[in-house]
Structure 1
Amino acid sequence: MTAREANQPKNQVGLNRYLSPLGAWALAFGCAVGWGAFVMPGNLFLPEAGPLGTVLAMLIGAAIMILIGVNYYYMMQRYPDAGGAFTYTKKELGYDHGFLSAWFLMLTYVSIIWANATALALLGRRLLQGALQFGFHYTVAGYDVYFGEVLLSMAALALMGLVCLGGGKLTERVQIIMAVILFAGVCIGFGAAMSRYGGNLGHFEPAFSPKNSPLAGTLEIIALAPWAFVGFESVSHSAAEFRFPVKKTLSVLVAAVITAALAYIMTTILAASVLPELAHTTWYAYVINLKSMFGMKSLPTFFAVQSLLGESGLLLIGVTVLGAIFTGILGNCVAASRLLYSMAEDRMLPRWFGRLNGNGVPRNAVLFIMALSCLIPFFGRTAVAWIVDVTTIGATIVYGYTCYTAYLCAKRENSLTYKITGLTGMVVAILFSVYLFDDSLSVESYLMFVLWSVLGSLLFLVLLRNDREARLGKATQVWLWLVSLITIASTIWVRQEFQIAAEHAMETINLFNTTKLRSFGVVMDFQQWQEYRDFFSNEIRVDLIATLNRNMVLFFFMTLIVMLILFMVFRLILDRERETEWKKLEAERSTQAKSTFLSNMSHDIRTPMNAIIGYTMLARKEDNLSPKTAEYLTKIETSSQHLLALINDVLDMSRIESGKIDLEPKKTNLVKTMNEVHDMFLTQMETKGLHYTVSAVDITNKTVMCDVSRLNRILLNLISNAYKFTPQGGNIGVTLRQTGADAETGFYELRVKDTGMGMSREFAARVFEAYERERTTAVDNIQGTGLGMAITKSLVNLMGGTIAVETEQGKGTEFIIRVGFPLAAEEPEAETDEESKVVKQQADFRNKRMLLVEDNVINREIAQMILMELGFKVETAEDGKIGLDKVAASAPGYYDGVLMDIQMPVMNGYESTKAIRALPDPELSRIPIIAMTANAFAEDIQHVLDVGMNGHIAKPINIPDMVATLRECLK
């Protein structure tokens, strides 16, 4: 498969690959430069920035657009499909963002089509001297609409629509010819100006507009870069139609932006090159009086070419402007139709929009665009200009989306260059947006933005209702952001409307004042003052306040409509996810109920178990115990430990099922671990008369990273089972063998084999299932929960290993574990004798005073006796409130620590700890507090630490663990 075939998008096989690099340039350049390039120099560029300011602004604007173009180029390589920014946004951010970008992108392209089509009427008025002003006539927003001009615009739309439907080479050739005519015409006119005035730079003085400072004027034009260059990215919608590698697109985009910038620069210099009358000594005096001029003089670029080249110049400028108009209509029709096609392919629009004709062109999309566009000339040029201004906002939003998706792609691919370009482009787009939402557009343009956003919300609601694949409605922040933009735009609109009304009222008031002053003299009597005051008040009430109220009411209803639409959107989302959420909630309730039950069971069983084990331990220390009593105590202790093991198994299984167990790997010497396992079981194996061996064979890599406590639990379960089910005189062998290694991981096989009673084939198949036990006479008297093997398998799985069993009834069983551990460079250091002495010295608690806070009398007595045996002086408290009062009333340093139960009346251990930590005396507030509780879950231990305790001791009390915790917390 070739690189080009690899880039062929799967969903775009219907589009023809016809576009050459030159055709792509013509498409990008023609969309970027339109009628505005010949009008804006005199109307905006020169008045705001002057010749040099405009040149600098266009060069900087071009650099910014090239930066954005780099991000388009980067994304086109990853998604060489039709749809451009819609595709990138949809792929990287989801369909909600994709729809929003497509909605504003569509407005951008169709409004440029409308602007160029209606510009023909303006061109006809200038060049044909009113020949098209026939048929019906009416006025829209101060603009005269004539049937003849409407007919001309519709004819141009129909012609370009037919060319677009012709597809392939026809579209490309027409676009190239028109783009070349456009650029060549501008260059000829510019060359004529340079040949006459190029050596006299003083002719173009002042270099900057006197209206603004050089910096302010230049920045004003730079801010228009999205408007000036919008459309250069249109080739991104035709990426599936390239017949050249996508990698060449960057040079095409750069060439299009540079030639567009040159076109704007040349038309601006042309506009400043010729002055119509001697009264205008500078270009600035000329352009600020354009509104008072008629004919060609009101269009400086046209006037300059005509003056420089005569009647042939007039023909030249006419053909050049026609090239700009037709490239704008055709190029944006291509881009918009491919966008609609891509949306239809993604089922965001009806399939009807995606149907192709025999030339591989989305026929219905083109017909829809042209049919809609043919209605626009009836609304007049002024209304179209309002819509065109909104394209700047739409383009800025889309550019921001493209740069952000490029940044996300680059971050995922760890591409520093494109991360920088993506992030920089996004910042630039935000800056442009801030400018556009700071009163920079006309009042009607903000209204158009609000209306278009509301219309888009309605369409999204329709799409959401029909979204069977649940792709929409996943990014609510998109719509919150849109509401914010609507609110801002509406506020600016209301403010501008109010300002216009206020200015009108003040003009009326000034006229009234002037009239009265002339009629009554400079000094007004009381009656005149009263009349003035009443008139002023009436104007404020009727004009200003009424206008403000009307607009605010309209603003309120606009916002209300959007909020209702969003509410319906969110309601549909909630309805769709209700069943899923309900099931999830039920599962969580079940899990929570199970956790609560197990936690309560753990606490309620551990509390009496603490008494049983504690008193058994204390009883064994009594002098002159009879052999029979010692035997009874041993059996009680054994049964207690078994019951505690049952509780731990149930709790461990619950934590495994709920996913609350995580491995804690640390450096471990596997050979040492196996030796410790041998020593741990040796005595009981010898007592039962079993032959017990532990061996480590072919161990090349002894030190690994593993959770040694979990590994020990696995070994404990397997060896304990072997011990229980192997009769006297049998054999139990444990073997660890290294089977291989790579640069980072060592692979090991662990076998535990016995010659016991074995298992039936049926039970062996389910031995790793929870709560399973083989029901035979031989094993009925052997205790167990049926959880040991299930826990073992879960831990092995957690380590990424496997476990298997080989067994035969009457002959024995062998468990085989295969697992890989990351290799460690150094072995863990063994504790030295000197360190052991230090530990033993630290375990000396003589002369230390402990406050024991425990509500259960039996547990309080046991704990007190254990603490006293360890050397502590012990004081007690029956609940958390009494414990708090004793600490608060003590002198700093009187108590060395507090042993705090959790579940107590009056004030529990958590509340008491928080109150102690809040004591005003810093010494008392920092006293070590150790929880001693039957709440032994991992979350219980974490909660203990979160409320400010220093450690946790679980009941039943394990004295070595207790000593270690006290030593750590009291050191």
Structure 2
Amino acid sequence: MKDKIKHFLAGSLAVVCVVCITAFAALAVYLNRQNEQAIAQLGSIYMANINERISKHFEAISDQCLIPMTTFSENLPPTCENNKEAYYQWMTYYGHSRDYESISWCDDEGNLETIYGDPLQYSGPPIFLETLKNGESRIAVGYNGSGEQVVLMCAPVRLSVPGMENCVAMIGELPISYLSEILSLDTLEDKSTLIYSLVIRKDGTFVARNSAAVRDNYFDRVRAVYAETDGQTPENYIAELEAAMQAGSDYSTMVQVDGVRQHMYASSLPNSVWYLVTFMPYGALNESVESMGTRSLSASAAVCAVILLSLIAVFLRYFTLNRAQMKELEEARRLAEEARIAAEKASRSKGEFLSNMSHDIRTPMNAIVGMTAIATAHIDDPQQVQNCLKKITMSSRHLLGLINDVLDMSKIESGKMTLNEELVSLREVMDSMVSIVQPQVKAKHQKFNISIFNITSENVHCDSVRLNQVLLNLLSNAIKFTPEGGSIEVSIYEEESPKGGDYVRIRISVKDTGIGMSKEYQTHIFESFSREDNKRIHRTEGTGLGMAITKYIVDAMGGEITVDSRQGVGTQFQVILDLQRAVEQVEDMLLPDWVMLVVDDDQQLCESTVDSLRSIGIRAEWVLDGEDAVRMAAQHHEAHNDYHVILLDWKLPDMDGIQTARELRRQLGGDVPILLMSAYDWTEIEDEARAAGISGFLMKPLFRSTLFYGLKPYVGAEEVQTAKEEQAPEFSNKRVLVAEDNELNWEIANELLHDLGLELEWAENGEVCTEMFQRSDPGYYDAILMDIRMPIMDGYEATDAIRAMDRPDAALPIIAMTADAYSDDIQRCLSHGMNAHVAKPIDISEVTRILKKYMDD
């Protein structure tokens, strides 16, 4: 009985399979015939337009290469208009961004000069050169230095760059495969493709072809493999095609190749002297229809298989369950591996951050310790002590910002970084940088110079700590990889910002004469733990994190950083930032109509300094060495028209600044002030300099404010004209309630703020602060300085309670004065109704500014 049932089930299964296969096969044959008819109709319509679409696609793609090349070559930045080398760098940047393997330029005699990449060879007809001279773009084929055939994108260009006045075109090199990519030239063997195309010249030679075309000339292929079609021989076909190409017209016909009937259509390609020849094999269409029939039969077989498989599904249940269990185990292993990788990434992130912070913290600490030692050694010199304290203050502020980052562990865990926008003085930032790196430069006996050009907006809004980090990383690298006696130059430029008039573009360049980097390594320099594997740097310490973090900061600030380096020559980093201008009013700086002499071996610095002096009312002349300075000063002295002030660089060639000052004093006497300017620490030579006749010192870079305040002491009080004299705000009859639970902090605040004329009262915690305010008469307090972390009632609760009181002065200014200094803390203070936030340790100038802002309102 079991055998009968098995036979019945087997027979039934066989019958069902036969019926299903037969029914689905018949359906597949019917659908295949219908598809064949539809495809034939669509093919006839498609062939009429396909060549035009390919030509338009070719024209659009080639124009995208040719038009930007002309625009990019002619719309040059000011630095490239009269500098061939700068123009080459400009075009190299463009070429790499457009994936050109080389760029050359062609003169009016057809000679090529390579800007970058391998030299090109091209032996085109004279009419090609005449076409370029007439301002028409062309695409041609040439050969590179390796003899390989390449595509040449030729764009007409006329330049006024010295040495390139006879330029008629820029030529960019692309691989020959580029033609196949933009024309979609499929091979004849690709049976899934309905059409294929060739590109030929008018003499029949191939520009681009499929793999079936083994000969170098298309006409030779026609004679060899084309059969007579509809009474037309291969020679008739060649003659008609040549006539159409000479006339510049399209050509269409039927051909038979290897027994396959094909439709051929030829038309000219834009921006070239080539012809596109496109074929549609009808055999491919037939194969497509057959393929569709095969797929129909396959689908029928699949349905039958499903029916069959359903009968044995019970026997596969165990296998299915087993596979499910294996998948669960594999998923568990995958999740465990992802967790391990995430943990390693988090650990590496912490290591990178802390390693970099260790280096950054030691740098300002070095300046603080050094300046403290100098101040101690010159304790009887108030001016020297004041200068040291100023540098210690700047380094301390930077150090405080770095410590805040180290303590903010959430930044390490998440890999995120927030920017704290604040009012920043570029002059103070650069003065701070100079002070910090001076000991390192001095230890390696390096030449260090810092210059500014066209800086009109000294005050901007940005994250000063992050900006300091970027500059310190760049300067530390320059000092580290520059040998003893080498040179380091820092330049700062102001340019118009593409963001509009409320912004200013600051470009910072750090250039050194160090060991340099290879071209290959320059592409990896901004990666974490990236250091060049070279014997020249094996003795140089570093984790390879500084540039990666610098790039991260610059990107977060919306800026751009680039590097240009040559081994054995040096390295130049450029940082470009668009910063918002400060809207605060500044002092209108104006000095008497003096005549000054500026002496420096850097002509750009001289010209920039003269422009800055002119902006504060001073006429100035400049020379490049001490000998000319002595000569010009003597001429003015003999004419009884002495310079009012002489500004003298310390590190002059041949005769240095001290020697020059000594000679000037011998000729001029002691009436003319002589100021020594330098980016170095002059404390060690101060006695010698004053003995030589130096009246004072100015630290580079020479901002407009640096010059004004440096020269102001040498002007009589009645001569100085200012629209607004700098003076401390007056807070007489102003009473402030200070909520602070730490007695020492209260004493510091009381000492600092009392000097401003404020009357201060102390509340030991938030509850006492609330009670004192509630008991006071309306208007008794003008403001409240509120600590956040206090016992009994914290600053947030106290502020909420005060704001909720029904009294007219409940809206008085409440300013958070706390060590909770992160951006989240600031937002939380503002959300609880506080007007502003000041971070501890107290910056008295910032507290003064905020108090004046809110109490004057």
TM-score by length of structure 1 reads: 0.32
- Identify which of structures 1 and 2 has the higher relative contact order when contacts are C-alpha pairs closer than 8 Å and 6+ apart: 1
Structure with bigger strand share is 2
Q: Name the larger-Rg structure.
A: 1
TM-score by length of structure 2 reads: 0.36
